[in-house]
Structure 1
Amino acid sequence: MANWCCIEQCGACCHLDPTERPDVQEYLTPEEWEHYLSLVGSNGWCIHFDADHRRCKIYADRPQFCRVKPEVFQRMYGVAPEDLNDFAIACCRQQIDAVYGDRSLESLRFEREIGF
């Protein structure tokens, strides 16, 4: 069985462009949506994404909607804690493929890390 994990130096989830994530607003509270939009830079990436090192500059203090935790995914997406692993894997695959491509180094690294 594959186990979800975040891979270092990826950052696909930091690509926040709302035009490429048209349904994201329906999962956020109005306050979270405002916060989300305030994080989107002119290039579509989070303003806290360090592109040189490909990591979050505020990782320890990142917003709740940036966290892969059972309580967050249950509240936002209605995902039961026991389904989080499979849901998170599917989300990461979709986002990594959209940002970098399904044959990218990031995609290959993710598949290797989760045990595929």
Structure 2
Amino acid sequence: MKLLISGLPHQPRVDEIKALVFRYSHADCREIDLVGAADEHPAALVAIKGANWTTLNNIRRRLHGMYWHRCRLSVQVLSFWDVSEAAEARRQTRTARPGRDEPRAADPRV
């Protein structure tokens, strides 16, 4: 899960975004990816160390609507599906249980 912070000032620096998030949440940023850095109001995808949905939602509530460097920030919590090969292997294991592919006998009560 990550935070999407949009409406950032023109050409933001990663260290400034990291300082902003830490100042208002005391959370450490693991990774920050700038989206549309050359745009007038770019966005950033921010991954927080050890964060769950509740933690990210609390950070979102603190930052959403805040004015920072004369720009109004918009913050959303994004969750991404695990599309790794390990996740696919787990899915296939669950669906390939013995006896599941056999046709069921007709209900004798009908």
- TM-score of the two chains, using structure 2 as the length reference: 0.32
Higher helix share: 1
Indicate the structure whose relative CO is greater, using CA pairs within 8 Å and at least 6 residues apart. 1
